[in-house]
Amino acid sequence: TRWCVRSRGLGDVSKRQVDTSGHADTQTLLEAAARTDLFLYDLKHMDPEKHHRYTGVSNDVILANLKQLSHQGARIIIRLPVIPGINDDEENIDRTGALAASLDGVIGINILPYHSAAEAKYQNLGLNNNASDVQRPTEEVIASVVRHLESYNIEVKIGG
């Protein structure tokens, strides 16, 4: 998993943040929660098969850890990268919204429109970028995702 601990003043939002994919040992994550004000928690896909196809790992642990953090009282912002043709379909967005709305610890969702900024990094490292042909989502797609998620009475922001 990727762990990024940020300490900075953000007004009343948070001082200690953990940025994670949630693909981690549950006990380790819960221990981190005791010292964390806010989790920035990436959710890439709700469908287990599609999640595995695109990320190489199951989302079982990721979803279980998200629920566990919420039950332990953690404050969480879900970050949803919106990737055209991969996770921007209505079913995935609705399942994401329903899950977020069911968890008391989730205080919002940040929509992260896909971009190709990492392309140069792949080239510099001599690696093949399997997503090099994916286009950035249109403003209409992002607006639709925001509307769907807001229908679950969740605060939604673009970026972050």
- pLDDT tens digits for 78-121? 999 999 999 999 999 999 999 999 999 999 999 999 766 556 66
Confidence of residue 135 (pLDDT cuts 50, 70, 90): confident
pLDDT at 127 exceeding the cut of 80: no
Of the two residues 134 and 24, the one the predictor is more confident about is: 24
Strands 16-20 and 4-7 come out as antiparallel
Which of 48-52, 121-125, 154-158 has the least mean pLDDT?
Answer: 121-125
Of the two residues 54 and 157, the one the predictor is more confident about is: 157
Residue 24, SS3? coil
Strands 76-82 and 38-42 come out as parallel
Average pLDDT of the residues of the chain: 86
pLDDT at 133 exceeding the cut of 70: no
d(CA 154, CA 147): 10
pLDDT at 147 exceeding the cut of 80: yes
Residues making up the chain, counted from first to last: 160
Q: What is the pTM of this model?
A: 0.84
Which residues sit opposite 156 in a β-bridge? 109
DSSP for residue 81: E
d(CA 84, CA 60): 23
pLDDT at 126 exceeding the cut of 80: no
d(CA 71, CA 50): 26
Note the pLDDT of residue 4: 46
d(CA 29, CA 67): 12
| Average pLDDT rounded to a whole number, residues 30-56 | 94
Note the pLDDT of residue 125: 73
Percent of the chain whose pLDDT exceeds 70: 79
pLDDT at 31 exceeding the cut of 90: yes
Question: What are the tokens at 79?
Answer: 């970050």
Provide the sign of the torsion angle of the four alpha carbons 66, 70, 75, 81, taken in this order: positive
* H helical segments located in the chain: 26-33, 48-55, 60-71, 90-102, 119-125, 139-150
Chain-centroid distance of CA 91 in Å reads 16
